[in-house]
């Protein structure tokens, strides 16, 4: 008996079922509009949010993210509220932008004289950091899920129009500054304001601010700070490591199945490594170019100046802990972890000059 027709019929049935399954999966895919705090053309800083979207979209059939630059959906400094109320589905940012809303926010962004990336990741992922991070948003009524999604090494600590020969030169300066470091600069005598990245150069140009910090040398060069402020100061005492968050509206997050949630978290974990490596690879060429082609002078704070910054920071931390029980709880937990970590960190890593080719 000829069975070709039956075989063809069976093949058609299987193909149709597969097509239906695929179309069903596509229609079930969750779509997320994600606003970023950083323009996509900013290296390291802006490219990290684009890279996350590329990563999640390449591995997931459950969710798809679309990247939007600052201001396309909401202004950068309004992303938290917009994500919480559902105006946007997600936001890639740093919690330091919310320092004015929650005292502890800066502890999950950048801690002056705090942990470098390895130690900070250890506290965040293997101690209590992430638990407190989510609790901060929950306790303050924000309807968001937070995921650690980026991190890089220290930033520069400022671009100045005039050389800073002593701390007296800082008195009365108007400076763009970020997070907890801004509290320190205010105690030193600097008037600070928090500006989004795209607003900094115009403010420098028209004299609304005298100096600024923002990011790493390559990022800052991309924004053209060297055209106005030629003195670039190091080290980045205010941001020994900087963390970036993915905020997702909690209702949208809880509607996802476990596989989709895991895919987002895994994409963020990959983004952490990528973000850190890019920052480490691309900044020393940028420093050379800033000096050789743009006339930038690289300056280092003296030991005396760094001690003054640290003293001011410890005063700020003590004051915030006295007025905010949650800040105190998180700060104490971080300090306890750091005391334990020192047993490892102070012994395992080579001290300079042994770990630096510059001194060999």
Interhelix angle for 325-348 vs 117-126, to 10°?
A: 120
Q: Is 318 annotated as a binding residue?
A: no
Per-residue tokens: 262? 């895991």
The 3-state DSSP composition of the chain as helix, strand, coil percent (nearest 5) reads 55, 15, 30
Of 108, 127, 97, 105, the C-alpha closest to 35 is: 97
Q: Is 214 annotated as a binding residue?
A: yes
Q: CA-based angle 107:111:117, to the nearest 5?
A: 100
CA distances from 183 to 76, 83, 294, 343 (A): 21, 27, 31, 30
Question: What is the Cβ-side half-sphere exposure of residue 39, based on CA atoms within 13 angstroms?
Answer: 10
Per-residue tokens: 271? 């983004």
Say how far apart CA 32 and CA 67 lie, in whole Å.
Answer: 9
Of 164, 46, 129, the C-alpha closest to 337 is: 129
My answer on whether omega of the bond before 353 falls inside 30° of 0, hence cis, is yes
Q: Is 155 annotated as a binding residue?
A: yes
Say how far apart CA 268 and CA 53 lie, in whole Å.
Answer: 9
Of 154, 191, 196, the C-alpha closest to 171 is: 191
Residue 7: how many other CB atoms lie within 10 Å? 10
Residue 146: how many other CB atoms lie within 10 Å? 23
Residue 338 CB partners (closer than 8 Å, separation 6+)? 115, 119, 123
Contact 122, 341 (CB under 8 A): yes
Residues making up the annotated binding site are 155, 176, 213-214, 239
Q: Which parts are annotated binding residues for substrate? A: 155, 176, 213, 239
Q: Which segments are annotated as binding site for Na(+)?
A: 214
């Amino acid at each position: 008996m000829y069975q070709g027709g039956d075989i063809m019929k069976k093949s058609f049935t299987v193909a149709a079922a597969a097509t239906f399954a695929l179309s069903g999966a596509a229609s079930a895919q969750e779509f997320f509009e994600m606003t970023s705090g950083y323009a996509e053309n900013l290296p390291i800083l802006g490219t990290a949010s684009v890279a996350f979207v590329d990563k999640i979209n390449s591995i997931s059939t459950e969710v798809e993210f679309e990247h939007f630059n600052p201001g396309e959906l909401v202004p950068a400094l309004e992303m938290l509220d917009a994500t919480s109320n559902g105006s946007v589905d997600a936001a890639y940012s740093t919690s330091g932008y919310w320092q004015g809303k929650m005292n502890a926010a800066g502890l999950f962004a950048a801690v002056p004289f705090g942990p470098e990336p390895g130690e900070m990741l250890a506290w965040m992922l293997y101690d209590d950091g992430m638990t407190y991070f989510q609790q901060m948003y929950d306790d303050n009524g924000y309807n968001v899920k937070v995921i650690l999604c980026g991190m890089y090494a220290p930033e520069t600590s400022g671009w100045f129009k005039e050389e800073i020969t002593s701390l007296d030169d800082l008195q009365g300066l108007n400076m763009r500054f970020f997070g907890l470091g801004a509290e320190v600069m205010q105690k030193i005598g600097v008037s600070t304001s928090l500006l989004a990245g795209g607003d900094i150069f115009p403010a420098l140009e028209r004299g609304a601010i005298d100096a600024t910090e923002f990011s790493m040398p390559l990022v800052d060069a991309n924004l053209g700070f060297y055209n106005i402020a030629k003195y670039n100061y190091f080290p980045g005492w205010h941001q020994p490591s900087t963390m970036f968050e993915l905020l997702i509206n909690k209702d949208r997050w809880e509607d996802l199945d476990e596989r989709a949630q895991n895919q987002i978290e895994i994409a963020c974990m990959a983004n952490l490594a990528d973000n850190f490596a890019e920052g480490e690879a691309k900044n020393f060429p940028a420093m050379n170019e800033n000096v050789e082609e743009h006339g930038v002078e690289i300056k280092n704070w003296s030991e005396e100046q760094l001690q003054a910054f640290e003293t001011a920071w410890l005063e700020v931390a003590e004051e915030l802990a006295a007025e905010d029980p949650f800040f105190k709880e998180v700060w104490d937990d971080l300090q306890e972890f750091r005391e334990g970590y020192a047993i490892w960190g102070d012994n395992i890593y080579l001290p300079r000059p042994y770990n630096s080719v510059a001194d060999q």
